[in-house]
Structure 1
Amino acid sequence: MGRHAYLIIAHSEFNLLKILLHMIDDERNDIFIHIDKKVKSFDRDYISREIKKSNVYFSDRINVVWGSVSQIECELMLLDMAIKGTYSYYHLLSGQDLPIKNQDYIHDFFDRNNGKEFIRFNCGNFNYYDRVKYYYFFINKIGRSKTLTSKTIRMLEKILLSIQSILKVNRIKNSNIIYQKGTNWFSITNDLAQYVIEKSNQILKDYKYTLCCDEVFLQTLVVNSPFINNLYHLKFDNDIHAIMRLIDWERGDPYIFRKEDYKDLLTSDMLFARKFSMKTDKDIVDIIYSYLCNDEGVKR
């Protein structure tokens, strides 16, 4: 029975994060957390106070900007911290995820599927080459920001992309790499985690100035390696069973679960779900917590 590492990326909803941590607090787990540098009033003690059984570690903090290589950098930083502990599995979660099975169930599932890699691939061939073949020089400065300055820079970025298209710029034209895309959340083995970190310098170099390649780098690395044979779900068909996470993209981007979804969540065969928000619906968080945890609960 192996130990697991939970890698958590969070930037808000710290009451929800506290509940997530309480639900994965187990002597078989350790927890590694990145809190976005943009967060000004972050109380580490507030976040970790409820952790009684797991070891909890906080990474250095960087400014994670949507769409930029900083998202990959954050994941690699957490993995690099965690692999020193040599865990059976490494689970990447956001601070707005929750387990929907208890830890005994989750550990038993991964014991039964030991050696399998839980990575989700989109359908068919990679059709997002614009993300990697052009240079996005300003994505690290604008992200999803809607300020006047960001809008101006975004317009400049579009002009530069048009120029690159006219000039037939293709930074990967001489590459023999097969590119693939999928969900960035994963559960991977120690062997793959070690392999990723061995390639980390090259990954950061290859995906600098690309767009949203936190959804590309791991899938691409795996599809060009022997680890492709170890996938839990072998088809490239968007099936969420590939990562055992209940995520609803049909009702949202993704949809935020609500109280009326409790039956779907509690009867699902998935292990985790996203996403949740205490601001949108606190009740569904309480329902899941009460169903899975029988102790005195989280004080908040």
Structure 2
Amino acid sequence: MKHAYLILAHNQFEILEQLLVLIDDPRNDIFIHIDKKVVDLPVLQTELANLWILEDRIDVRWGDVSVVEAELLLFQQAYQHGPYGHYHLLSGVDLPLHGQDYIHAFCQVNSGKQFIGYSSGDQSLHIERKVQRWHLFPRHFRSSGSLADNLRRAIRFIGMRVQLVFGIRRNRAIQFKKGTQWVSLTHDFVAFMLQHTQRLLDTYRYTFCADEIFVQTLCWNSNFRDSIYNLADEAEGSQRLIRWKDNRLYDWGDQDFGLLHGSALLFARKFNTQHMKVVAQIVSTITTANGKAT
């Protein structure tokens, strides 16, 4: 069965072009959402895979529910062209670490599994802060330093303090889970998720970084829980190699090729155009193994 690649992109399109090279396969359909704020759209094309660049674009803001909206839009568009064995959600600065033969074979062996990463340890404080409080002006979490943004930040701070003092909490009845937003889902689970689109948007409006929570929570509180590939290890569970250190995401550098090349995980994030050597090495290694010219 074919696979769907769903890509959220907003910058560094040179890496997106290389990502397309690696997933350009007749067994794949590719769907790309480019942030509405992007004015000069890149020229993207494939030779073997069907490619759709979404015309309906969302102004995606970090930490805001608009990230969830863009993801759901991608899943909805892909679902209409399905069914697919798996729907792989990637950013435009991610890359596969293996060829398509490997990825399709791995997913075939694990047919019916949800590749969703779950954070280990006690996440209750993170969850309470992010989705059990009301966050004001969520589209402006990242301040530009303007007077208006400073005023919004002050109001948001006061609003949060009031909720803490008076014990105001929302979404009390939901058992939340969190992890990386980058997932690979089955057709049946995507159908289930899309059935709950409006409820998801209503639940996570005026929250913070719900993109790290909504898929994990929906799956956990459903009959699909038993189909989660790995609950104990976030990287194995999501099949994403991601460099986190001190709660900060780091880009892969040119010195990291050995680690990336030696990984059994399917995908890695995130790359940067300042370190294109490692990108070129990954592309060359995979395309050479596939018998393609680099």
Normalized against structure 1, the TM-score is what?
0.92
The counterpart of 1:66, out of the listed 62, 69, 73, is 62
CA separation in 1, counterparts of 2:151 and 2:71?
Answer: 30
Structure 2 partner of 1:11: 10
SS in 1 for 2:44: helix
Residue in structure 1 matching 2:98, options 96, 101, 104 = 101
**Per-residue deviation at 1:137?**
2.1
Amino acid of the structure 2 residue aligned with 1:26: D
Counterpart amino acid of residue 144 in structure 1? R
The corresponding residue for 2:250 is: 255
Partner in structure 2 of residue 181 of structure 1: 178
Is 1:80 the counterpart of 2:66? The answer is no
Aligned partners of 1:217, 1:251: CA distance in 2, in Å? 23
Check conservation: 2:28, 2:49, Cα contact below 8 A: yes
What amino acid is the match of 1:215? E
> 1:220 maps to which residue?
217
1:145 Cα deviation after fit: 3.0
Cα deviation code 1:27-54 (max 9, x no counterpart): 00000000001111113xx122xx0111
Return the alpha-carbon distance in structure 2 between the equivalents of residues 293 and 145 of structure 1. Answer: 42
Aligned to 1:267: 262
Distance in 2, Cα, partners of 1:27 & 1:161: 50
**Contact conserved, 1:27 with 1:54, CA < 8 A, in 2?**
yes
Deviation at 1:86, TM superposition (A): 1.0
Deviations 1:63-84, CA, capped at 9 Å, x for gaps: 1001110010011000001112
* 8 Å Cα contact 2:118/2:231 also seen in 1: no
Structure 2 vs 1, CA of residues 135 and 251 (structure 1 numbering), >3 Å: closer, same or farther?
A: closer
Contact 1:125–1:180, Cα closer than 8 Å, also in 2: no
Q: Is the 8 A contact 1:126 1:179 kept in 2?
A: no
Instruction: Write the letter of the residue equivalent to 2:141.
Output: G
Partners of 1:99 and 1:27 in 2: CA distance: 16
Q: Paired residue for 1:190?
A: 187
Using the TM superposition, give the Cα deviation of residue 251 of structure 1 relative to its aligned residue in structure 2, in angstroms.
7.5
Question: Which whole-Å CA distance do the structure 2 matches of 1:120 and 1:69 have between them?
Answer: 20
Matched-pair contact (CA < 8 Å) for 2:171–2:203: no
Q: Which runs of 5+ in 2 are unaligned?
A: none
CA contact (8 A) 1:5 1:32 kept: yes
Contact 2:117 2:179 in 1 (8 A): yes
Compute the RMSD of aligned alpha carbons: 1.4
User: For the Cα contact (< 8 Å) 1:91–1:187, is it kept in 2?
Assistant: yes
Alignment match, 2:153:
154
Match of residue 143, structure 2, among 137, 145, 165? 145
The unaligned stretches of length 5 or more in structure 1 are none
For the residue of structure 2 that corresponds to 1:34, the secondary structure is: strand
Residue 229 (str. 1) matches residue 230 (str. 2): no
1:120 partner amino acid: G
* Equivalent residue, structure 2, for 1:282: 276
Q: What is the CA–CA distance in structure 1 between the aligned matches of 2:255 and 2:171, rounded to whole Å? A: 46
Task: Determine if contact 1:138/1:153 at 8 Å carries over to the other structure.
Answer: yes
After superposition, what is the alpha-carbon deviation per residue over 1:227-280, rounded to whole angstroms, capped at 9, x for unaligned? 110111033xx43011111111027832211121111111111111111011x2
Residue correspondence of structure 1 range 193-212 to structure 2 within 5 A = 193-212=190-209
| Distance in 1 separating the partners of 2:180 and 2:252 | 18
The answer as to whether partners of 2:10 and 2:34 remain within 8 angstroms in 1 is yes
Shift of the alpha carbon at 1:200?
Answer: 0.6
229, 236, 240: which one pairs with 2:235?
240
| Structure-1 separation of matches of 2:93 and 2:246 | 17
The amino acid across from 2:234 in the alignment is D
Distance 2:12 2:114 in 1: 29
| CA–CA distance in structure 2, aligned partners of residues 91 and 100 of structure 1 | 14
Q: Provide the identity percentage.
A: 39
Could you give the per-residue CA deviations for residues 122-176 of structure 1, whole angstroms, max 9, x where no partner exists? Answer: 1245412121221112011x13233223233112111111112223211223x2x
Identify which of 262, 287, 291 aligns with 2:285: 291
**What TM-score, normalized to structure 2?**
0.94
* Count of residue pairs brought into register by the alignment: 286
